[in-house]
A and B are shown apart, each in its own frame.
Chain A
Amino acid sequence: MADDESLSRLFLQHRHMLLSYIHALVRDSNDAEDIFQEVGVRVMKKEQTPADSREFGAWCRGIARNLVMHHWRSKQRSKVVANERLLDVLELAFQEAEPAAELSKQRSIALAECLRLLPDHSRDVINMRYFEGLTSVAIAERLERSSEAVRKMLSRVRAQLEKCIEKRLELGGVGDE
């Protein structure tokens, strides 16, 4: 199908949704980024190429899913992994979402600002979960709270972030001038 340049552009366009998909599967940002990188290398090697560019996302996810399976086997992790049913429905969800859900620049700018605006204690929890990669249980230990309380807090802060992002996008134009 496409030449090398449009292929790499296409890949960059799908970057965020692909990375989100891999995240959803492996739930560890280090592993997710390793796999994402490997998908990129395979895409550029063009071992297989979709006939239709609209299938590009699905094609990448297919490569990703195989790599995730391989990753799980090699790591022999204790994680809840082999729920085929869940993986299938996640694939369906991402299939339906693209390409509308691709993270826009505006949204990403808004998120950066909204993160900065969080009160310290909220940002600490977000940092522990999404930067340090701690589970709710580990965060709960650190904060001497129950893991339910931590998950509630995460849920609340995420809702706050979503609201803040929407609010900023509604105001619009902020990132466009």
Chain B
Amino acid sequence: MNKRLAELLLAWEDDTLSAVEADELSELLEKDPAARAAAVEHFSLSCAIGEQLQESLHDESVVRELQRMTKVTRSASEGPSASRPRARVGVLITAAVLLIVGFVGYHFDVHKLILDRFGGQAVVNIEDLRPQVTGTFGDVHRVEKDGSTDEASENTTLDLGDSLRTSKNSYATLMYPDGTKIELRGDTEIKIESNRSGKHLTLWQGGLFAAVAAQPQGAPLVVNPNQYDRVEVIGTRFEFVRAEAASVVRVESGKVVFGSTAELVEISQHQESTASSDQRPTMPQPIEPETIWRGWGHGLRGDYFNSAQFGGKHFTRIDPRVDFHWGKESPDPTFNNSFSVRWTGEIEVPHSGEYTFWTVAHYGVRVRVNGEMLINSWASMGAEEDGRPIQLEKGRRYPIKLEYWDRHGDAKMRLLWSSPSMPKSVVDQQWLHPETKSAGTR
């Protein structure tokens, strides 16, 4: 907008416009249609800002007041009193609209009216903003507002202000009443922000996968509000990882808006973008869908043992796929050079038919699907092994169990599959489901 025009309009709103300036403003507006359009935009923005601020600061009281008023019949002649506290402005004007609408027998419900009144800004019921823990694996803790910590178990409901923390190799699932599901990786901490206009979360560190149900107009789910790596979604599936160096968002389906105010990017299906505190979000880049972590409901449970005979000290985690090349290293720095891993869970197939499983393992490997031993090569030594073909049906889940061990040398383990209509590839997480019951139940 013309700078002088903006100054004059602000002065007019401020009531500091002199008579000379008033003439100057009139003249500017009279001779230039663009100036008139700009002036209307100016007043429109002033008005809209005022409304938004009143609403955001008082939406709760407005809702209460509205609900109360819908039960009370008021006569048309009853005007508002001339003086009243600011805070009730929004309430009273809403009452006026209600009154008018009520007058003419127009059917409405309170919720719709609130949406109308606030130009689409929804006011969300607090119960809809409190997620429930519906699954945990390993060590998961809830940290309450006052700092007290307790173990989170299934059916723990989180309050606004609470945090949830997963230890290394531990996982948790949160579910909102609308079906929005958030899965946390290990070493992750998330806070449920005390914001009433939608689901707001802060991911302090770690990673999550979110499957977001369609959110109400004007109340998107927001992760990391007011941060450089802010994420906003209406209804979509995405992964978000926050590390010290940078944050990454990968979208499985739908769209996500990522970044701070001035530097937003929109990430679509099968794209990713990276941002850090000193670097704006990168332009979304295409990615292979397999690289998206889809939550701990996918993959296989891996029990890792510090010996070649499935005994001794061990840890458990969920691996999205079995595709490792440890080389001279081992899966854990505390392990000696011998170790073994047992992966368990279930497998599904994309279509019914005959499947062949393949492994590349050093040192030895066994594969069982649906109880059948398909590969048994206790000294495979890194060669590619193919198993006996097996008939599998789409829509069923079959138990799968892999056993692998290494003593020394070039440790590696991959699980692949093929079928007449599918080239050989690593079995991806989307077809795998981990055994998540506690150890020793198999």
Contacts and interface: CB of A to CB of B under 8 A. Distances in A.
Interface of A: 4-5, 7-9, 11-12, 15-17, 19-21, 23-24, 27, 29-30, 32-34, 36-38, 40-41, 43-45, 79-80, 83, 85-86, 89-90, 92-94, 96-97, 101, 103, 105-109, 111-118, 126-127, 130-133, 135-137, 147, 151, 154-155, 158-164, 167-168, 171, 173-177
Given A112-B121, A173-B255, 4 more contacts: A16-B44, A89-B26, A108-B48, A111-B48
B119 A16 contact: yes
20 contacts: A20-B46, A21-B43, A29-B89, A44-B100, A83-B22, A93-B40, A96-B36, A96-B37, A103-B44, A105-B119, A108-B118, A108-B121, A112-B52, A130-B49, A131-B54, A133-B86, A135-B15, A155-B7, A161-B49, A162-B41
Of listed B25, B43, B226, residue having the most chain A CB within 10 A: B43
A37 B80 contact: yes
B243 interface: no
Interface residues of B, number: 83
A38 B255 contact: no
A108 B39 CA distance: 18
Contacts of B218: 105, 108-109, 112, 175
A176 B214 CA distance: 10
Given A131-B53, A131-B57, A33 B217 contact: no
B116 interface: yes
A132 B41 CA distance: 21
Interface stretch (B103-111, B159-167, B330-338): B103-111
Interface in B83-111: 84, 86, 89, 92-93, 96-97, 99-101, 103-106
Given A4-B104, A97-B37, A109-B120, A115 B49 contact: yes
A4 B103 contact: yes
Contact of B225 (A79, A112, A116, A132): A116
If over half of B's interface residues share one DSSP class (helix, strand or loop), that class is named, otherwise mixed; here it is helix
Contacts of A101: 37, 40-41, 44
Given A135-B15, A167-B262, A177-B234, A5 B23 contact: no
Interface of B: 1, 6-7, 10-17, 19, 22-23, 25-26, 29-30, 33, 36-37, 39-57, 76, 79-80, 82, 84, 86, 89, 92-93, 96-97, 99-101, 103-106, 116, 118-121, 197, 214, 217-218, 220, 225-226, 230, 232, 234-236, 254-255, 257, 260-262, 264, 266
Of listed B14, B57, B82, residue having the most chain A CB within 10 A: B14
B100 A8 contact: yes
Contacts of A118: 261
Given A137-B14, A177-B234, A105 B257 contact: no
Contact of B89 (A15, A17, A33, A171): A33
Contacts of B40: 17, 20, 93-94, 96-97, 101
A151 B10 contact: yes
A151 B25 contact: no
Contacts of B14: 27, 135-137, 151
Given A20-B43, A135-B15, A171 B264 contact: yes
B112 to A, nearest CB: 11
B89 A108 contact: no
